[in-house]
Amino acid sequence: MPPRQFDGSRVRAVRRGKELSQKQLGASESVGVSGPTVARWESGEEFPKGEKLPGIAAALDQELDVLFPHDGPADLQLLRCDAGLSVAQAAAVINTSRVPVSNAESGRRRLQDAYVAPLAHAYGVTKADLLAAQDVSFGLRTVRPRDKQSSAPRTVGEKINYILQHGYAGQTPPSDEQIARAVNEHAGVTSTTAGDIAALRIGTTTDVSDSVRSGLAHALQVDAALFQDDAEVNPAAREFLEALRFLGSIHEGQILGLAARGNHSGLSADMMAKINEVVGELRHKLPDVQGGV
């Protein structure tokens, strides 16, 4: 999997919106693959390498962070991939084998001081940014206060993305096709398509009917109040969403001190019980929340 979120159905929806064939997208200078390869990406049979994502976004005239979002602070792999470089190309920058780059990205051995400046230059970041990313690769994370006003999802698409990103730790989130199917089954009529869901998620469409909003809540198994309008979610709902993000971060080993690299014992039973208790309390703050989020 690439370090950013890759959803082939979203790529397909944007490509079709640009009236490009799979062959044309693959033949783009910034992508450079065959049409069948693009087809396998879009169907979910394969994933592109992370360093291909900037080129795909550029070929589709999309913002990288919008088409392929990522959660949390950048690590070394993300910096390299966002620069469009493979491990071999990054190694060539510092005139070494792939080993130093791979070791640093996997948290096994830090980069030598002499490698920091040239890699930062190649990645288009400062030395401080690269060293901070290296800390993330080694399981260290500087926790900054979150700006809830700016970080809370507001549009329907942002809310869908938030739930898919944080609400399926350890599970495969539903695809746009699966969401659209569930929405239509709930409504009893064909009210949306996978392309419509993808358009909402990437922000090219924001208008959506009440029946689709209700269907989205059913499909994603959350309270219907989350999708009632495009205003910022209320405090209780935001607290519930933050709990989803917190649990997802634990599952991914991103919570400093709770799941540090090299600590195989994980959380204590008492700690897990406390987290479950807190999350249970948060769920009851929302009326009619369905299980299985």
Q: What is the pLDDT of residues 22-62, one digit of tens each?
A: 999 999 999 999 999 999 999 999 999 999 999 999 999 99
How far is it, in rounded angstroms, from Cα 66 to Cα 101? 27
Across 8-17, 55-64, 213-222, least confident range: 213-222
How sure is the predictor about 71, in pLDDT bands with cuts at 50, 70 and 90? Answer: confident
Question: Average pLDDT, stretch 135-142?
Answer: 79
Question: Average pLDDT, stretch 65-71?
Answer: 87
pLDDT at 275: 53
pLDDT at 278: 54
Across 101-105, 110-114, 166-170, least confident range: 166-170
- Nearest 5°: phi and psi at 246? -65, -45
Cα dist from 218 to 145, 194, 214, whole Å: 32, 16, 6
3-state DSSP percent of the chain in helix, strand and coil, to 5: 55, 0, 45
Q: What is the pTM for the complete model shown?
A: 0.55
Domains and CATH numbers, the chain: 8-61 (1.10.260.40), 76-137 (1.10.260.40), 149-283 (1.10.260.40)
pLDDT at 233: 55
Is residue 265 pLDDT above 70, yes or no? no
pLDDT at 231: 56
Question: Average pLDDT, stretch 107-116?
Answer: 94
Give me the chain's average pLDDT, please: 79
Those residues with Cβ within 8 angstroms of residue 195's Cβ, 6 or more apart along the chain or in another chain? 13, 16, 176
Is residue 255 pLDDT above 50, yes or no? no
- Percentage with pLDDT > 70 across the chain: 72
Is residue 205 pLDDT above 60, yes or no? yes
